[in-house]
Amino acid sequence: MDENDNNLEFEFIAKQNGTNLIILNYHTPDNFDQSIPIEIELTNIDRNQTFKSENILSACPYLFVCRQAIITDEGRILSFDAVTDDPFRLRIQLSSKYNYGDRNRRQLEVLPTNTSKQFESLNVNTITIIPFDNRWSYDYIEPGFVCNYKNNECTTSNFPLISEGIKIEAEAEMFGPEKPAQIVEHPKYNQVNPGTDTRPLLVHLNDSLQLIDIRGTVPKPGPYYFMLNYYQPKNPKFNIDALIQNGHLYSGVATLEHCPNNVGCRVALKQKDSEWNSTAFTIQKNFQITLKIPTNENSPNVSDAYLDYIMVIPAENFDEQSLMSGPSDGHKNIMVECIKNNYFIDTKNTTEFCRSLVFSTTVDFNGGALPCD
């Protein structure tokens, strides 16, 4: 859409009874950094009811499309009632004016300059009608971090190393004669060790598998943090409940935020019944933790997530920064992958990554390549 083709109109049929809202997915040119005013007109054709409003779309010159909920002139989300099979007409038009309200509620009209107008254009990707019920969430319009993008591809990210942390794979207790269907590899989840092509196994929690038991042992009694590493790319946030058995019974909870991050997200469990909202649990030795997601009937949002592993961390070693991923550090990759055996690297039984490291380090130590004769 631009000044020569500034009108978009189409019709749709309501699929169910209820109140709905409109989400606009759009994109703007790379060289355009100004907001775009648009006019919205929604008409219920059979009932001859029309809703009108003016909206301001922020510039969106990114590698992804942006989303915005259509609002009323008063700034509330535009909601409309529909009966199944009601026909509607939606019209979107680029506006030639931009109205601001001052403190005295007077309207000031500001016309765009010739310079800004010639670049004013809007690329509409999709328009989505969403039921405005207890499942609505602002997560639907807030972008989520996926990866650091460089040279037209996602670069490797990782989480900080955790001293004395105990890592327990989520699927550890689930293997039998055959791999269960709930243990999967996800093509967009990329938390892998450097130098390998192996993707981690994830436990897919959904209505088919709502709870999972994980067992472990700590080296000494004391307070520990339980940190979940998960992947949740499709839905708004929801809570996951935890029951920790260890001679003492603890109830915990964590919020699984919307997480399209290709190395997943981390969250620490909190005690449900603690007056101080504590995130540490006193563990003696052996423990069992049961994680359970709510059923979709009892949750305001769809409960669907992938669990990679849990980390059990002594309280004195826990750091909030360990919950945040960051760009990969090549030196840390070397530490993790190649020098596990007290700096001994067997070049015949190691990865190509570590073999190349030995070669380049040896050449550098010897003063570089030999000169040609």
pLDDT tens column, 233-279: 988 999 999 999 988 899 999 999 999 998 899 999 999 876 666 78
DSSP 267-331: EE-EESS-TT---EEEE-SEEEEEEEPPPTTTSSS---EEEEEEEEEEGGG--GGGG--EE--HH
Q: 179-227 pLDDT, tens per residue?
A: 788 888 887 887 665 445 567 889 999 988 999 999 999 999 999 999 9
Q: 13-32 pLDDT, tens per residue? A: 998 899 999 999 999 888 77
Tokens of 206: 């959904």
- Over range 56-82, report the average pLDDT: 90
Q: What is the pLDDT of residue 109?
A: 39
Q: CA of 89: how far to CAs of 114, 129, 330, in Å?
A: 32, 12, 55
Percent of the chain beyond pLDDT 90?
A: 38
**For residue 2, what are the β-bridge partners?**
5
pLDDT band at 365 (very low <50, low <70, confident <90, very high): confident
Phi and psi angles of residue 360, each rounded to the nearest 5 degrees, phi first: -65, -35
247, 241, 325: which is closest to 290 by C-alpha?
241
What domains are there in the chain, each with its CATH number? 7-140 (2.60.120.260), 156-326 (2.60.120.260), 339-365 (no CATH)
Assess contact for 224 and 283: CB atoms under 8 A.
yes
Q: Cα–Cα distance between 73 and 77 in angstroms, integer?
A: 9
pLDDT at 373: 62
Element (H, E) at 118: helix 114-119
CB 230 within 8 A of CB 242: no
pLDDT tens digits for 72-131? 999 899 999 999 999 999 999 988 654 444 433 333 333 343 434 444 578 898 998 888
Q: How far is CA 144 from the centre of its chain?
A: 5
